[in-house]
Structure 1
Amino acid sequence: MMRFRHLTLAVLATLAVAPAAFAQDATTDTGSAAGKRFAVVGGYALSEPTKNPSIAGGRAQADGDGAATLSASYYITDNIAVEAWGAADKFGHRVNLNGAKAGSVQAQPYAVSGQYHFGTPDQTVRPFVGLGYYEANYSGEQAEPAGALAGQRIGVETAKGAMATAGVDLNITPTWFARADVRYMQGKSDARLNGVKVGEAELNPVVLGVGLGARF
């Protein structure tokens, strides 16, 4: 519930900033979004794992978390773009093993993808889809002192795989726009205890994000 409250606050913050951005930009930008080749977006996202990996003979479950995100896009044409996206902070995941808290780990994903933006650059609502490659660096692995993995050294290797994206931009002015998107990441990484592989940390998270962007 707390994670969805954070996303709600991010949505409200975006809606609050958007009118101010529109008022400031309206006096200076009376042109078109067509032909603008670069875009940047700052936002907030929730990462929720969709799979429960098997670790040390038990079934593990990782909780979701929220973090700030950044992206930069280059538009090859008005409809085709290449995006670099990543978490500006780390998603913290609490790990439960057989229903009891066993430890925690932090993940910081980043990705490159190709996107297709439907319609014309100046239409108010503009959906898009994308497909690309991501990696997620894991760090801060800790075992719960009183948990099943107490006293053991946990390691999770970098996850790598494909990422699919779907989203929509809401054009405010030719420069400013609000964005909502969902990303699905599919990839595996090895989970290790004291340097020995004990399973695969296949989380395959769904990442829900909102943000405010500018194009130029």
Structure 2
Amino acid sequence: MKAILPLALVSALCSSVALAHNAGDVFVRGGLAVVMPNESSDDVANSGELELDSDTQVGVTVTYMLTEQFGVELLAATPFTHKVSTKGLGEVAEVSHLPPSIMAQYYFGQANSQIRPYVGAGLNYTVFFDEKGKGSVLGGTDVSLDNSLGFAAQVGVDVNFAENWFANASLWYMDINTDVHTIAGTFDTDIDPITFMASVGYTF
């Protein structure tokens, strides 16, 4: 009973607040996005594949509801920066990128539901910049990555907690393929990150 009672109270308090995603609505979500690369690449000078660490930045999405069920969403964020390394050489580079994405979304449930899960699919265009060679092998040398256009998908849920306000959690997959150009050669690299975003949204 001690565990059930708080849940019942929260449910009762929230039950009168509905989440309205109606045709013509625009809503903005803002929060923190964690990019977690799931990379693979060509072998680099017999030192292993390129590995990228995770990074957390501010993410923003803007959605326009075409109907009560279908929406279009644009994702933007502050630049993500990743350290690039191999098992044999350690850190070899650092790179920043921006991953704008556009999604067609389907929202489950009714427009006035308090909780609305959704799925989305679309395209991601990743722009790489500020590439820097690092370490004893590539330090001070030119490193560049080709920009990438690929498939993107997402799942998420909105939970209303006040008039026009809602909390959101979403999970993204992005197909990011690039060629990494260095003095040691060119290496085909799949970054393919999973991105988790926790945010607060407002409906206009």
Q: Which TM-score applies when normalising by structure 2?
A: 0.83
8 A Cα contact 1:157 1:191, kept in partner = yes
Report matched runs for 1:90-109 at 5 Å: 90-99=79-88, 100-109=90-99
- Mapped pair 1:149 → 2:157: no
Unaligned runs of 5+ residues in structure 2 are 1-15
The 5 A counterparts of 1:6-155 are 33-35=21-23, 37-54=25-42, 56-57=44-45, 58-87=48-77, 89-99=78-88, 100-144=90-134, 146-155=135-144
Indicate the residue corresponding to 1:183 in structure 2: 172
Local SS of the residue matching 1:147? helix
The answer (yes or no) to whether the contact 1:32–1:174 under 8 Å persists in 2 is: no
**In 2, Cα distance between equivalents of 1:165 and 1:31:** 20
How far the C-alpha of 1:202 sits from its partner, in A, is 1.3
In the TM superposition, what whole-angstrom CA distance separates every residue of 1:10-42 from its partner, at most 9, and x where no partner exists?
A: xxxxxxxxxxxxxxxx9xx99955445211111
> Do the aligned partners of 1:39 and 1:213 also contact (CA within 8 Å) in 2?
yes
Letter of the 2:171 counterpart:
V
Q: Structure 2: which amino acid aligns with 1:161?
A: G
Q: 1:32 to 1:62 in 2, by over 3 A?
A: closer
Aligned CA-pair RMSD: 2.3
CA shift for structure 1 position 122: 2.1
Regions of 4+ moved over 6 Å: none
CA contact (8 A) 2:18 2:113 kept: no
CA distance in 1, matches of 2:131, 2:25: 40
For 1:187-215, what per-residue CA distance to the aligned partner results, in whole angstroms no more than 9, with x for missing partners?
31111125x96112310000000111111
Contact kept, 8 Å, 2:32 with 2:199, in 1: the verdict is yes
Query: Identity, % of aligned pairs?
Result: 25
| Count of residues in Structure 1 that have an aligned counterpart in Structure 2 | 186
CA contact (8 A) 2:19 2:159 kept: no
SS of the aligned residue for 1:59 comes to coil
| 1:153 to partner: Cα distance | 0.5
CA deviation digits over 1:122-171, x for unaligned, max 9? 22221000000001111111111x33322321001112100000000011
Larger helix fraction of residues:
1
Q: Does structure 2 retain, via aligned residues, the 8 Å contact 1:134–1:163?
A: yes
Match of 2:6 in 1: none
Q: Which runs of 5+ in 1 are unaligned?
A: 1-25
* CA distance 1:31–1:84, shift in 2 (3 Å): closer
Q: For residues 163-191 of structure 1, what are the alpha-carbon distances to aligned partners after superposition, in whole Å with 9 as ceiling and x for unaligned?
A: 00000001123411111000000131111
TM-score w.r.t. the length of structure 1 is: 0.79
CA displacement at 1:98 relative to structure 2: 2.8
> Which amino acid in structure 2 is aligned with residue 127 of structure 1?
P
